[in-house]
């Protein structure tokens, strides 16, 4: 897309934002309902695209589609309430002044989608953007080209380009989009790229929502139900071949139950991802490209070179980018696999006897998007929460806090900023405008 074309598109949206600003809840709901119909009409194409890009089964692909449809239903059902001003009782200092907060759109939004969940993480933010009355320029991720193409067709069929437009391309296009003086940028991806996005946003004083990731730890105390911990961590670690920001990146296990955990984790992986003793690739998925396959494999090689014990549960296939589930025991905390987000089906296992070993390490490193704590002693769990920080927490389960759309979802520090899902997404993509009024007639 030529620079002049992008500028023309942006100018259209900048003018049209005043139209969307005054749109009613019914008008926004009608557009979202049309979007839902278009998604449902293209389910087969969406599933085929996700299989082509990431080797997703239809069932796994629907894990991306279902939350989008649920978010649309939630917005349509609640937009009247979300859009209503929040009114406050008069205070003596202001006499009879009426005060309220009105939720207004931010304006022109720039939405960058990621490659790991290239459908859901384009359309879930888009639902919030549209519900809040914004215009948007959407760039799906070029590393998932089949899904990008389907997303582009759906968006183009539902929206006029002055309201929501989609542009496809690579890094060069992203750089040119960041030249535009948009009002808000919604980015899902890595912390390294997010720093560049935030620096470019500062040039125009645009607000940002950054949905990132980080090294999400799982902590298994001595009193935990190890069966539950192993089952949930195995499921979370291997969804989308580990390419998910909420994946348990590594696990800290009390030394008394470490061997039991390793045994039950292996059994859970074999039960879930193997058929007749062979790795079922479509159950696991593939790494997005050879660069990422080599990156994760390199983490394993580095850890082993530093003394870690590798347990590979099956055979990898580099040509197909299938990396077999792998455990790393006795990992050095300065190994590459402990310094970088893994984003693959490799689980470092570290043991501890004193919880302070775990919390000290977590305090010395970046705040993760999520933490997973397994145990029965509520006070011990509360002590862990008091000594750490993360975007969200699930106790005795994986991604439970993500599954409840009533809860705000997002990171803190290096794992992101801003919150969305449900009303939290509506408010994230809105400007809370304070209004105080005296001397007006009804």
Active site residue 245: yes
- pLDDT the model gives residue 109: 98
- pLDDT the model gives residue 442: 62
C-alpha 344/C-alpha 277 separation (Å) is 21
- pLDDT the model gives residue 102: 97
176: part of which helix (H) or strand (E)? helix 171-177
Give yes or no for a contact between 239 and 343, defined as CB atoms under 8 angstroms apart. no
Token duo for residue 211 = 């949905």
Active-site hit among 47, 109, 216, 245: 245
Active-site hit among 211, 216, 341, 428: 211
- pLDDT the model gives residue 173: 96
C-alpha 324/C-alpha 212 separation (Å) is 25
301: part of which helix (H) or strand (E)? helix 290-305
C-alpha 110/C-alpha 95 separation (Å) is 42
| CATH 3.30.70.1560 is the classification of domain 217-403 | no
Do domains 3-212+411-437 and 217-403 share one topology? The answer is: no
- Backbone phi and psi for residue 289, each to the nearest 5 degrees, phi listed first: -155, 170
List C-alpha distances in Å: 243 to 41, 237, 287, 303, 346. 27, 8, 7, 20, 11
- pLDDT the model gives residue 92: 83
List C-alpha distances in Å: 257 to 127, 298, 349, 381. 44, 29, 12, 17
Active site residue 211: yes
Token duo for residue 256 = 């008394």
Residues of the chain with pLDDT under 50: none
- pLDDT the model gives residue 276: 87
C-alpha 54/C-alpha 209 separation (Å) is 26
- pLDDT the model gives residue 40: 98
Please, which residues have CB within 8 angstroms of residue 284's CB and are 6 or more apart in sequence? Answer: 55, 238, 241, 273, 322, 325, 345
- pLDDT the model gives residue 441: 61
Question: Domain spans of the chain?
Answer: 3-212+411-437, 217-403
Q: What is the CATH number of domain 3-212+411-437?
A: 3.40.605.10
């Amino acid at each position: 897309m030529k620079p002049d074309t992008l500028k023309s598109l942006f100018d259209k949206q900048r003018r049209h934002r005043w139209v969307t600003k005054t749109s009613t809840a019914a008008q926004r709901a009608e557009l979202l309902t049309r979007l839902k119909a278009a998604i449902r009409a293209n389910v087969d194409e969406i599933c085929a695209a996700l299989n082509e890009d990431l080797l997703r089964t239809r069932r796994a692909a629907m894990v991306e589609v279902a939350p989008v449809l649920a978010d649309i239903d939630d917005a349509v059902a609640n937009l009247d309430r979300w859009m209503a001003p929040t009114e406050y009782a008069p205070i003596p200092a202001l006499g009879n002044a009426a005060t309220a907060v009105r939720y207004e759109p931010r304006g022109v939004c720039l939405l960058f989608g990621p490659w790991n969940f290239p459908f859901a993480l384009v359309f879930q933010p888009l639902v919030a953007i549209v519900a809040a009355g914004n215009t948007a320029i959407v760039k799906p991720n070029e590393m998932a080209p089949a899904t990008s193409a389907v997303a582009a067709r759906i968006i183009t069929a539902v929206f006029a380009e002055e309201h929501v437009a989609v542009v496809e391309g690579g890094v060069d296009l992203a750089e040119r989009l960041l030249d535009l003086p948009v009002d808000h940028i919604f980015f899902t991806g890595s912390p390294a790229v997010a720093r560049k996005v935030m620096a470019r946003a500062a040039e125009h004083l645009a607000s940002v929502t950054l949905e990132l990731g980080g090294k999400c730890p799982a902590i298994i105390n001595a009193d935990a139900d190890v069966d539950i911990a192993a089952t949930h961590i195995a499921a979370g670690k291997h969804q989308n071949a580990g390419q998910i920001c909420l994946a348990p990146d590594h696990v800290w296990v009390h030394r008394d139950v470490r061997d039991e955990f390793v045994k039950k984790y292996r059994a859970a992986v074999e039960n879930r991802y193997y058929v007749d003793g062979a790795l079922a690739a479509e159950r696991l998925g593939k790494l997005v490209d050879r660069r990422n396959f080599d990156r994760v494999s390199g983490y394993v090689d580095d850890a082993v070179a530093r003394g870690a014990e590798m347990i590979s549960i099956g055979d990898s296939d580099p040509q197909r980018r299938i990396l077999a589930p792998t455990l790393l025991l006795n990992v050095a905390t300065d190994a590459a696999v402990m310094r970088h987000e893994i984003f693959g089906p490799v689980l470092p296992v570290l043991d501890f006897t004193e919880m302070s070993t775990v919390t000290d390490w977590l305090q010395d490193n970046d705040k993760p998007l999520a933490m997973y704590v397994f145990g029965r002693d509520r006070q011990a769990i509360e002590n862990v929460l008091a000594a750490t920080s993360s975007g969200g927490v699930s106790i005795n389960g994986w991604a439970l806090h993500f599954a409840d759309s009533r809860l705000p979802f997002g990171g803190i520090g290096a794992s992101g900023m801003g919150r969305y899902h449900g009303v939290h997404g509506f408010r994230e993509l809105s400007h809370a405008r304070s209004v105080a009024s005296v001397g007006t007639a009804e």
